[in-house]
Amino acid sequence: MESTELKQYLEIAPEVEEALRSNRPVVALESTIISHGMPYPQNVETAMKVEETIRNCGATPATIAVIKGKMKAGCSADEIEYLGKKGVEVTKCSRRDMPVILARGMDGATTVTTTMLIAHLAGIRVFATGGIGGVHRGAEKTMDISADLEELASTPVMVVCAGAKSILDLGLTLEYLETKGVPVLGYGTKELPAFYTRKSGFEVDYRVDTPEELAKIYLMQRRLQMPNGILVTNPIPEEYSMDKTVIDKAIEEALAEAKNRGIHGKETTPFLLAKIKDITGGDSLDSNIQLVLNNARLASETAKELCRLEQGS
């Protein structure tokens, strides 16, 4: 898409545009967690708290969404409130939905996939989220594989998350990322964190211990002109980590109910997460909020290091 055409559909918030122009750190945030991840008003409160956390770390937040057919790289407080109040009325927008959503002038809550896409179009290089999608259990029969993995294979954005959601087949998700050439880095760990818990039994490609090293790896990848993203898996803080046995049991119950009710496709993950929240008495939602804040802090520090390294080169 030519830049003149792109300007019709991409709106970069003035604060974000100024930060990018001045080589100051910017961190992208998704909007599905607002419209589809939590009830109102907790969704809006959490979104604003994540933005505040990024500002307190010295970076600029850019909550990404599609509003009335415009790709927003940075949402105002009023726009976040709008997305939160509309909730699930806002279309959960993956890559395949983008042409329709934009052409019809609709609203879209961006997933990992579309947040990466819009962030890259805007020039934002670091994105903090909760957990990525991946290869679903039973995918050898259903072919249910998240578009997040394909986006990581083709869009050069660093994604900081708490691992792949533990409702997935984590082993196959890692195999898929390896096939696509996506490096999976563990922040302070060699074990893949599993969203609500710090343990999964699976190893990541490399352990990285500082934001500076994360930034150096990203810059080296860009020098090599590799087209893919980088996945940084950041374990949930120990004090908020859930017991693996408890969460595994809740996941098994949720998966069984989803199968019995014939739930599939893009409705699967929201259903499973809501069911797990009910089973765990809300503990999983509290953990979800804390891991997002933790990822926002690491993403901010990494974005700051990117800017520092570039200024010193």
Show the beta-strand stretches assigned E in 68-211. 70-73, 91-93, 108-110, 126-128, 158-161, 184-187, 206-208
- Look up 30 and say whether it is catalytic: yes
Q: What are the structure tokens assigned to 45, written together?
A: 């409160």
Contact 193, 121 (CB under 8 A): no
Please give the Cα distance from 244 to 241 (Å, whole number).
9
Per DSSP, the residues of 181-218 read: T--EEEET-SBPPBTTBS--S-B-SEEE--HHHHHHHH
Catalytic residue among 72, 92, 165, 304, which?
Answer: 165
Please give the Cα distance from 181 to 149 (Å, whole number).
11
Contact 130, 288 (CB under 8 A): yes
Encoded amino acid at 92, one letter = K
Contact 214, 185 (CB under 8 A): yes
Catalytic residue among 17, 30, 301, 305, which?
Answer: 30
DSSP-derived secondary structure letter, 236: P
- Look up 2 and say whether it is catalytic: no
Strands 70-73 and 60-67: antiparallel
DSSP-derived secondary structure letter, 243: P
Catalytic site residues? Answer: 30, 165
